[in-house]
Structures are given as structure tokens and as C-alpha cells.
Amino acid sequence: MGLMGMNSSAALSPKLEVMQEKIVVGKYLEILAVSLLLLLCFTHSGFGENCIFTEELLPTTSISSTIKKLKGLLLLDYPVSLPSNLKSDELCFELWQLHFISRELNRMLQVAGSELRKNISELETRMNLEDLFEDCKIESDCVDFERSNISVFFDSIPKIFRAVRDKMEDLPKDFSSCTPIRCQPDSLSTPYVSYSSQMLNTIEASKAANHQRHHWLLIPISLLVYLFISVKCSSRSTFQPQPLQV
């Protein structure tokens, strides 16, 4: 009887360990599922994209030499689209202008040759525009465009860039009120919807779609992790130590 009692308790001990392991793994799975759901919710609700900056994003390096090289690679009457009806705003006006500068540079990247693309990429890197507008999503539905030339476009960049950089000196800087662009109710210029502005909308829509696809990939990844852990747990639970036979 004593030996049988010892054998039965020895057999129960591994079963108890397996049950405890299952409980622990189950809790980890719950935490994982909740974390992924929260991540998806915050991502799709625009969490962290409110245009509030706590660190300096715009470098102090000069961009004049890069712009000079770009002007030498393009005809001075090369057409670009510039916003024509932005409302004057002490805080936001230059940020909105810089937003459209970034859009136009992205559009030029899509159609440029290798040498021009290299210099445009260098300018974007020097200005750090990608990081700036990754953290600051701006809606621009009300904007009209007018046709201008590349010389006017490039000449305006250093002044606008410095103005935004100067406003960001006192951190944290809150540009959240600038995310919807405000337009003049009656524009004096004739709206000009160019091929470039249409292409920019297509590029931005494509970027937004890719951004969403990346987040939805989290769902199958979390399911695969769940299945992997479940299989590992079930394989461990099927192995039961046999009691000693005497």
C-alpha cells in the first residue's frame, strides 16, 4: 500500500506540473492577444500622429548647395504645382508649405532619372522631411493649386525650412492644430489641377494603403504565434510519465 501510494503521488506530480504550465502559457497568450488588439486600435485611431514634437527633427545643416545642384539639372521653367489658397496662420503657414514641398519632391522622385533622383533624395535626407511628416499627418482636401516653375519652387525652400525649424526650437512644440489645413474661402487665383497634383494624391493613397496592410499583418502573425505555442503545449501534455511497476 505504501509503495502504491508513493507511485500514485509520483504519477500525479508531473500532471500537476503540466497543468500549471498550461495555466501560465494561457495567461501569456491572453496578454499577447490584448497587446496586439491595443496596438491595432491605437494605430488605426492615429495614436502618436498628432503633430506634437518632443525632439528636434530638422537639422541645422545647410541645404543651399544641394538646391544649387538640383537647379543645374532642371530647366528653370520646369512646371510644378504650388498651393494657392492657404490661409495665413502664424503657427501653421510655413509647416503647410513645407508639407507641399515634401509632396512635390516625392512626385519628382517618381519621374526623375538616376542623377536627379540621387540629388532629390539627398535634399530630402538633409531636411529630414520623411520623419517630420511621418509624425505629423496633414489633411489637405480644401487646397487649390496653381502652376509655377521649378526656380520659384527651389528658391522658396530654404526660407520656409528655416521658419519651421525656428518654430521648433522651443520643445515640446505642439502643431496639432495644424493637421487640418485651413484655406481661404475665396481664392483669387484660378485653380490649377495638374498632372503632378493628381499623381501626388495617387502616391499618398498608395502609401496609406501600404501602411494599413502592414498593420493588418499583425493579425495572422499573432495567430501563428498562438498556434505554435498551443502545439508546443499539447505535445508536452501528451507525454505522461508512467508509474513505476513493482
Work out the pLDDT band at 56, boundaries 50, 70, 90: confident
Cα separation of 151 and 199, whole Å?
Answer: 21
Same-domain pairing of 81 and 174? yes
User: What does the pLDDT read at residue 13?
Assistant: 63
Q: In this structure, are 63 and 171 located in the same domain?
A: yes
Neighbours of 65 (CB within 10 A): 11
212: in domain: no
In angstroms, the CA 241 to CA 138 distance is 63
| Residues 28 and 88 reside in one and the same domain | no
Query: At residue 38, does pLDDT exceed 90?
Result: no
Give residue-wise pLDDT tens across range 84-128: 999 999 999 999 999 999 999 999 999 888 999 999 999 999 999
Clarify whether residues 72 and 164 are in a common domain. yes
Give the whole-number percent of the chain exceeding pLDDT 70. Answer: 55
User: Same domain, yes or no, for 13 and 112?
Assistant: no
**Is residue 146 within 8 Å of residue 194, measured between CB atoms?**
no
Q: How far is CA 67 from CA 49, 99, 102, 186, in A?
A: 29, 17, 14, 33
Given the C-alpha cell 503521488, which residue does it identify?
A: 9
Tell me how many domains the chain contains: 2
Q: Residue 229: pLDDT above 80? A: no
Same domain, 171 and 83: yes
For residue 99, which of 136, 126, 71 has the smallest C-alpha distance?
136
User: What is the spatial distance between Cα 94 and Cα 110, in angstroms, rounded to a whole number?
Assistant: 25
* pLDDT value at 146 more than 90: yes
Q: Are residues 120 and 167 in the same domain?
A: yes
Q: What is the mean predicted confidence (pLDDT) over 66-81? A: 89
Residue 243 lies in a domain: no
pLDDT for the residue numbered 189: 44
Task: Report the distance separating Cα 5 and Cα 21, nearest Å.
Answer: 25
Q: Quick one: pLDDT at residue 135?
A: 87
DSSP-assigned beta bridge partners for residue 82: 146
Tell me the pairing of strands 145-149 and 79-83. Answer: antiparallel
- How high is the mean pLDDT of the chain? 74
| 74, 160: one domain | yes
Report the C-alpha gap between 110 and 102 in whole angstroms. Answer: 13
Determine what percent of the chain is predicted with pLDDT higher than 90.
Answer: 41
Is there a single domain that holds both residue 136 and residue 161? yes
Q: Which residue has the higher pLDDT, 139 or 196?
A: 139
User: Which CATH number is 86's domain given?
Assistant: 1.20.1250.10
Cα–Cα distance measured from residue 116 to residue 102, given in angstroms and rounded to the nearest whole number: 16
d(CA 74, CA 36): 48
pLDDT at 168 over 60: yes
Is the same domain home to 27 and 110? no
Residue 78 structural domain: 52-193
